[in-house]
Copies of this chain bind each other. A is one copy, B any other.
Amino acid sequence: MAKEVQIIGLETIPDIKAGDDLAKIIVEAARREGVGIEDGDIIVITHKIVSKSLGLVFDLNKIEPSDRAREIAKRTRKMPEFVELILREARRIVKIRPPYIITETRFGHICLNAGIDRSNVCGDPRVCAALPRDPDREARKLREALEKLTGKKLAVIISDTYSRPHRYAQIDMAIGVSGMKPVKDYKRKVDAYGYRLRFKMQAVADEIAGAAELVIGQTTEKIPVAIIRGYSFEPDEEASARQLSLIELGYRDIFEGIKLTPKSNG
């Protein structure tokens, strides 16, 4: 009777290198682990292995920092080579607030350091992975490859960890989406009591990315892919994670300029 959704983490995905066929690797892991891939599954893939397969891994020893990178590096106490990489990968530097560098990615996502980081790359702190430059395109390519290999109708979400305004600690969110509407629109829908909802739109792709992280983890788990099974998404061939970005949508942020009043100060 109870309605059930499963979050299944794949535990046997090997280390990914540039040029690896991710779709094939995922299908093989799902088969090996006895879960397979079924019609209607949503495959959540952490961006890190997508970036690795695309070769977006950078050795800071081989990067020549510009004067601007050196200046920002000094103010933020970061390595100039790391800052140079941020300048190259970001669409725009939104604000430098030492020690933080707040950036906008090429796909309209506000985050620290253009999303570049060193965790789960290779263990060498001078080697970094950048975000895919067009995560929606990568999600679509992966979905098409996965559907071809399995003969099933699927959705794909590429996830990244996200530092949020107002809230402490990070959650995972969707930076690339293919095959499903990222937003469930309740406007004009009627609730269980007949009241017409006016304002509610649910960012299901972000909730699914966050749900996947409950099995993905960040350290020794080595689970970079989760299958969400049993959730009825709304199919959409043209869907995009940009539909979750206020910048890409051209919408105003109603919380812009809000000042928090920390309790200890007030």
The answer to whether A149 has its CB under 8 Å from any CB of chain B is no
Instruction: Indicate if the CB atoms of A219 and B3 lie closer than 8 Å.
Output: no
Given A110-B166, A258-B102, are A214 and B95 neighbors across the interface (CB < 8 Å)? no
Min Cβ gap A149→B in Å is 18
Copies in the complex: 2
Q: How far is the CB of A144 from chain B (nearest CB, A)?
A: 24
The answer to whether B254 and A100 touch across the interface, beta carbons within 8 angstroms, is: yes
> Beta-carbon contacts of A232-266 to B below 8 Å, as 1s and 0s?
00000000000111111111111111111111110
- A163 on interface, CB distance cutoff 8 Å: yes
Tell me the chain A residues, 187-234 only, with Cβ under 8 Å from chain B: 189-195, 197, 200-204, 206-208, 210-211, 213-215, 218-223, 227-228, 231
Closest to A113 in B: B199
Interface flag for A18 (CB, 8 Å): no
A99 to B190, CA, bound (A): 23
Q: Does A154 contact B (CB under 8 A)?
A: no
Q: How many residues of chain A are within 8 Å of chain B by beta carbon?
A: 103
B194–A169 CB distance below 8 A: no
In the assembled complex, A121 has its CB within 8 A of some CB on chain B: yes
Interface membership of A151, Cβ < 8 A:
no
Q: Mark A1-17, 1 if CB is under 8 A from B, else 0.
A: 11111111111100000
Residues from chain B with a CB closer than 8 A to the CB of A12 are 1
Binds B, one of A59-67, A71-79, A130-138, A170-178: A170-178
**In the complex, which of the residues A4, A102, A164, A228 has the most CB atoms of chain B within 10 Å of its own CB atom?**
A164
Supposing A33-B1, A119-B191 touch, asked if A203 and B167 sit within 8 A by C-beta, the answer is yes
Q: Which of B102, B170, B215, B262 contacts A247 (CB 8 A)?
A: B262
Q: Decide: A125 near B195, CB < 8 A? Known: A4-B7, A8-B2, A264-B250.
A: yes
**Counting chain B CB atoms within 10 Å of each CB, which of A8, A186, A208, A219 scores highest?**
A219
Contact B6 A5 (CB under 8 A): yes
Contact of B1 with A122 in the complex, beta carbons under 8 Å: no
A255 touches B207 (CB 8 A): no
**At the interface, yes or no: A34 with Cβ under 8 Å from chain B?**
yes
Q: Least Cβ distance of A183 to chain B in Å?
A: 5
Question: How long is the Cα–Cα vector from A6 to B104 in the complex, in angstroms?
Answer: 35
Known: A8-B4, A166-B253, A263-B108. A214 touches B207 (CB 8 A): yes
A165 interface residue, CB < 8 Å from B? yes
Among A4, A9, A190, A252, chain B packs the most CB atoms within 10 A around the CB of A4
Q: List 6 A-B contacts (CB under 8 A).
A: A119-B195, A123-B191, A164-B203, A166-B253, A210-B210, A256-B259
